[in-house]
Structure 1
Amino acid sequence: MSDPVIRDFIAEASDGYPLSLRLTSAAAPTVAVLVSSGTGFPKGFYDRFARHLAARGAAVLTYDFRGIAGSRPENLAAMQMDYPDWGRLDMPAALDALVAAAPGLPVVHVGHSVGGHFLGFMPNHHRIERHAFVSVGSGFWGRHHRSYNPLELFFWFGFGPWSLRRHGYIRGGGLWAGTDLPRGVWETWRRWCLKEAYFLDELKDRLQPHHFEAVTAPIRSWIFTDDPIATPVTSPILLQIYSNAPREVVVRAPADYAVPRIGHEGAFRKGMEGLWDEMFDWLVEPSPAVPS
């Protein structure tokens, strides 16, 4: 098996913001895969997954949202942005970069957590043929597993406000295991997660314009029995915003892949190759022909 071709590069979003991208590709790819990260996950977190898909013939683009890891500005505390910018500006730019890097190939998408939430903000979503969601569910804390609630509430009312006062951003490490987060990400995320509607109620006004109802590409959403966030309750709540897309939820357990834990982030860790093949097989299978 030959090693994948890996190229790191910068692409600008439509507002001129520079984004850090990584293309991991087979020598002669047959499909292009866009991987959109969860909140606070750097693109390098998905390297093993990208290499696995490249070994199966894919060109895989991973990238850092603005404010995260390689796309972080020098002064994060001074950064002005809003959470939905990731969907409105960064995801479209990454998709355009992938299409340019892999011309003529069919494009599919893997969205982890918020990477699935924000698909409907992309004005160019129609260029994607299928979406595999991973650990995607409503962020409202009150519908998450009860055991997780104390940690969430401390993050929203204790650690987060303290970190903003001390640093001007959410510092990674300790309670928050992700990367440093810009203020604009955390404040909007907090607002949504503290209300039952999450961001769904804002789609009619505050979050206009958007394209959620225009998404028609099939969505298959994988969730896991030990994930306290994306559950059989919260996943369908989120998916309802893609009202015109064929969509289904697939529930898997750690035992299905002979691993002790998956949780909210473990789907992309070593040992989950069986899941990766399952997702890839679905992403590349031919869509049913439309009757003439």
Structure 2
Amino acid sequence: MNYSVKNILLATSFQHKISVSIFYPENSSNKSIIISSATGVLQKYYSRFASHFSSLGFTVYTFDYYGIGASNSKSIKHITANLNAWAFDQAAVIKYAKETNPEHKIILITHSIGGQLMGLNAEIKLVDSIITIASQTGYWKYFKGFSRFRMFMFWYVLIPFTTPIFGYFPAKKLGLFENIPKQVAYQWRQWGIHPNYMFGHFKNTELYFSTVSCPVLILSFPRDLFASKASVDWLASKLTHAKVDRRHLIPADLNIKDVQHFGYFKKEYQDSLWKLTETWINENS
């Protein structure tokens, strides 16, 4: 193994600590990757991806949002954090990575909601390039067929009816993902039922999407129940000053299995999607 892993607790400006795993390469390329995960997905899900890129010379950071996994130090019912706090988590890791290795180029890789949170991240200016994986708007009308019904039910039935009963959103009981704090769920729902998603709850001057000027690779995949092509296109359109490379990848064209929402980070894509990612990073950071 040509890398090592260190786990730390990192304090954020939101007055809480989050669990961060740092993958140190044996021989550094002077580039750092921060992986900002999907809603309710534990950082360990990204460990194989992180290990692979660390073996290539990247210093890689994974972390659990506050209230999730190893970043939950008390009963989830007592976690008052919302999505703004999760954006502060993302910002704290980016700032720590830059302060620890100021000579490194910083690459932010976001999965799903991670790409939305960068719009609330004041430290996004420290990032040299960005890759978003199925990062989108969650507004239900950007979906079709069963996906539209699923998103509608999510916002109008599952979250509003189950969260008050449990004191948090019981996603694990519903076979979805890790349980999430109630204020995260409620704010997420507010975004999801608004045609302008998070833009319906913040002024443009309060968001950082238009300040991003670095190269951004935006990926999506067919048959993704959580991120339709149209929903990913919507978020891409908010990066008005970035150098956007938008790709809707068809698995058959790459001779790979269906990817959908969670497949990208599976090791079976090491020689395809991960190689594509490595090449893009090396050309754009």
Work out whether the TM-score is over 0.5. Answer: yes
Offset of residue 13 of structure 1: 0.2
Offset of residue 216 of structure 1: 0.8
Contact 1:120 1:215 in 2 (8 A): no
Offset of residue 217 of structure 1: 1.0
Q: 1 CA distance for matches of 2:201 and 2:160?
A: 23
Contact 2:222 2:249 in 1 (8 A): yes
Q: Structure 1 residues 256 and 100, CA, compared in 2 at 3 Å: closer, same or farther?
A: farther
Aligned equivalent of 1:242: 239
Offset of residue 16 of structure 1: 2.3
Aligned equivalent of 2:164: 165
Q: What TM-score, normalized to structure 1? A: 0.90
Aligned equivalent of 1:62: 62
**Helix, strand or coil at the partner of 1:219:** strand
Identity among equivalent positions (%) equals 22
Q: What TM-score, normalized to structure 2? A: 0.92
Alignment map for 1:130-279 (pairs within 5 Å):
130-204=129-203, 209-273=206-270, 274-279=272-277
Q: 1 CA distance for matches of 2:208 and 2:188?
A: 20
Could you list the structure 1 runs, at least 4 aligned residues long, displaced by more than 3 angstroms after superposition: 100-103, 256-260
Q: Which amino acid aligns with 1:135?
A: A
**Helix, strand or coil at the partner of 1:96:** helix
The alignment covers a number of residue pairs equal to 283
Q: RMSD across aligned C-alpha pairs, in angstroms?
A: 1.8
Offset of residue 35 of structure 1: 0.7
Contact 2:14 2:85 in 1 (8 A): no
Aligned equivalent of 1:290: none
Aligned equivalent of 1:23: 22
**Helix, strand or coil at the partner of 1:230:** coil
Contact 1:224 1:251 in 2 (8 A): yes
**Helix, strand or coil at the partner of 2:141:** helix
Q: Which amino acid aligns with 1:71?
A: S
Aligned equivalent of 2:127: 128
What 5-or-longer segments of structure 1 have no aligned partner?
Answer: 288-292
Q: Which amino acid aligns with 1:222?
A: L
Q: 2 CA distance for matches of 1:192 and 1:170?
A: 16
Q: Structure 1 residues 23 and 12, CA, compared in 2 at 3 Å: closer, same or farther?
A: same
Q: 1 CA distance for matches of 2:148 and 2:173?
A: 17
